[in-house]
Amino acid sequence: MNNRTMISDAIVQERPAFATRLLLLAGLAPILMMADPTDKALGLTSTQQFIPTFLSLFAGVAYLVKGVRWKGGLIWQDLSLTIIIFMIFLGGVGTAVATGSRPESFLNLSVACLAFFPFRILSSQPAQLRWFLGRFGGWLVAICVFMSVLLIFWQIHGPFFEQRSGIDHIYHEEIFILACGAIYVSVTMRQRPVLRFVLILLFFAGELSSFKNTGFLVAALTLAILLATPAHWVSQNHRQVLLTRTIGVLYLIIVAALFWLLLPYFEGSLPQGSPNVRLYTYDLRWHQFLNNPVFGLMFSGTPRLQVPLTNLYIPSHSDLLDLLAYGGAIGALAFLLPVLSFLFSLSKIRFLTTERHEAILGYTLLASVLIVWSFNPIWLQPKMGVVVWMALGIQSGLHSRLKRRQTSLVSKAVTPPLGLHRPLA
């Protein structure tokens, strides 16, 4: 048994803290709600859907009571994300106090944002994070199987749920977790190639069976990460790397062929959407940003808007444009710069030793959330908003440890051996 295996086994065997178990519940509850195909969040009210957020905050308090601290120090991404959280909190509280209405303000969002901090503490504890993501990943795969089967059945059998003013409905924004399931299977089931292949194809089929533009984008992201990461997870044997990449290309060919062959049978099921409503919300938010380009509206006022000539009173169809309109350039940079730094660090994951699986799962979770987040309302949905901040907290901790690992490797490379120091002049 090599040192790396011994370290990995020791981490797995360490007992999880009570707070870590609470965070597991806080992470599982939202994806269980997302698995509800009726989009009713299992019948919970909007307030009850904040239970995962409150669980995560309670876990953060439990960490502090036990003396568990933020290991590794702060990085600039932590400070930047704290700024945007502070902006949202001030705007939400100010509007709620002024209007006396919590739902009409950003206060709900500001509460969900606070989940970033407990998950950031968790991600700074390698053993606890490994236990958390191991259990979370198992449940994630099971839910992804359930969702994919329902999506495929939906397209073959026909609509079996009717929601939202008579419009046939199944999973929408929830599609992003299928990418996470595919990547988790890819990096953890290399000893079971047949099951791995079948599950990834199933998740691809689920993404494409949604017949939503975001579903297609999530499928493309899944494939891109599958093709980009094999060299980090297999040995340095070039034949194994080539074989893994060949299998990835095979995924693309099979999925594209199936999609092309089956599309004529499902053309009548393609969603028509509401392009006029969507474009109206986009245009309104963009002009709000242009009118207040520096600080935006400082997250004051309501995040919802009324569509003219309709009874629709809805959030914008883009959390990205909401960020620009209400946070301005300052808020957008405070949020997007850390996110982009996390996303551009994929190739550096090789510097980690025992946490590569956790890093790639956290990376995929963040990337897939943000694809949907750019074109749909995620922030303001309690069952999904907490997942955004969970992903950010996990990635921030891993990024901090990754930077320390890189610094350590560089210092070892440049430090001359003992006795070879150049004498002082």
Q: Which residues pair with 304 in a beta bridge?
A: 315
* 137 pLDDT above the threshold of 70: yes
Cα 74 from chain centroid (whole Å) = 22
Cα 232 from chain centroid (whole Å) = 21
* 419 pLDDT above the threshold of 80: no
Confidence of residue 98 (pLDDT cuts 50, 70, 90): confident
Residue 4: predicted pLDDT = 42
Output the CA–CA distances (angstroms, integers) from residue 96 to 50, 236, 302, in the order listed.
17, 56, 9
Name the DSSP class of 416. P
What string of DSSP letters covers 28-65?
HHHHHHHT-TTSSGGG--TTGGGHHHHHHHHHHHHHHH
Any idea which of 6-10, 199-203, 301-305 has the lowest mean pLDDT?
6-10
Q: What is the sign, positive or negative, of the torsion defined by CA atoms of 141, 123, 88, 282?
A: negative
Residue 227: predicted pLDDT = 74
At 270 the three-state DSSP class reads coil
At 186 the three-state DSSP class reads helix
Q: Which helix (H) or strand (E) holds 414?
A: helix 382-414
CA distance linking residue 334 with residue 83, whole number of Å: 7
The single residue listed with the structure tokens 């006022």 is 301
Burial of 145 (0-12, 13-18, 19+ CB in 10 A): middle
Any idea which of 24-38, 45-59, 138-152 has the lowest mean pLDDT?
45-59
Two structure tokens written together for 126: 């390698």
230 versus 33: which is more confidently predicted? Answer: 33
Most confident of 98-107, 122-131, 410-419: 122-131
Q: Of 16, 26, 81, 89, nearest to 57 (Cα)?
A: 26
Average pLDDT of every residue of the chain: 78
Name the DSSP class of 295. T
Q: What is the pLDDT of residues 358-404, one digit of tens each?
A: 788 888 888 888 888 888 888 888 888 889 899 999 999 888 877 77
Residue 65: predicted pLDDT = 79
Two structure tokens written together for 30: 């939202």
Name the DSSP class of 229. S
Average pLDDT of the segment spanning 64-76:
73
Two structure tokens written together for 259: 């999609």
Output the CA–CA distances (angstroms, integers) from residue 355 to 24, 233, 306, 384, in the order listed.
18, 11, 46, 25
Q: Of 272, 386, 387, 384, nearest to 39 (Cα)?
A: 384
What's the pTM value of the predicted model, to 2 decimals? 0.81
